[in-house]
């Protein structure tokens, strides 16, 4: 899918989404993103990001946001594959095994 350009606020939301995933090793809920960015209409921004081809939603769950691997690379510049970065061609999660990595559990404990 061809990605369309983002508005300044949409780009801020996308970078915040990637930063959250990088920091917490999971996707944020809409509420967490809204609180982080002090936005009341976060669902509109997520819908716009999806419509423009920057993210995918896999369902109606609060954390059902996927970041295509090529978007992750472009936004973070790391080339690191972490949970939420999905291979655009196969749709497979391209995250490496978490043993010995930077991954941490939900409460900050290492696995």
pLDDT in tens, 19-55: 998 899 888 988 999 999 999 899 999 999 999 999 9
**For residues 26 and 93, what is the distance between their CA atoms, to the nearest angstrom?**
13
Residues 111, 49: contact at Cβ < 8 Å? no
| CA-to-CA separations, 71 to 33, 44, 68, 97, in angstroms, rounded | 18, 19, 5, 21
Which of 1.10.10.10, 1.20.58.1000, 3.40.50.620, 3.30.420.40 would CATH assign to domain 8-86?
1.10.10.10
**For residues 66 and 49, what is the distance between their CA atoms, to the nearest angstrom?**
11
Can you give the pLDDT at residue 93?
Answer: 47
Can you give the pLDDT at residue 77?
Answer: 77
Confidence band for 94, pLDDT divided at 50, 70 and 90: very low
Torsions phi, psi for 26 (to 5 deg)? -160, 160
């Amino acid at each position: 899918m061809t990605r369309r350009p983002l508005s300044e606020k949409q780009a801020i939301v996308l970078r915040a989404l990637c930063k959250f995933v990088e920091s917490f090793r999971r996707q944020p809920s809409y509420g967490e993103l809204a609180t982080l960015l002090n936005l009341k209409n976060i669902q509109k921004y997520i819908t716009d990001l999806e419509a423009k081809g920057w993210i995918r939603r896999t369902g109606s769950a609060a954390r059902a946001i996927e970041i295509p691997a090529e978007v992750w690379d472009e936004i973070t510049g790391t080339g690191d594959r972490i949970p939420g970065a999905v291979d655009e061609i196969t749709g497979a999660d391209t995250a490496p095994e978490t043993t010995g990595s930077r991954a941490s559990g939900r409460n900050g404990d290492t696995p």
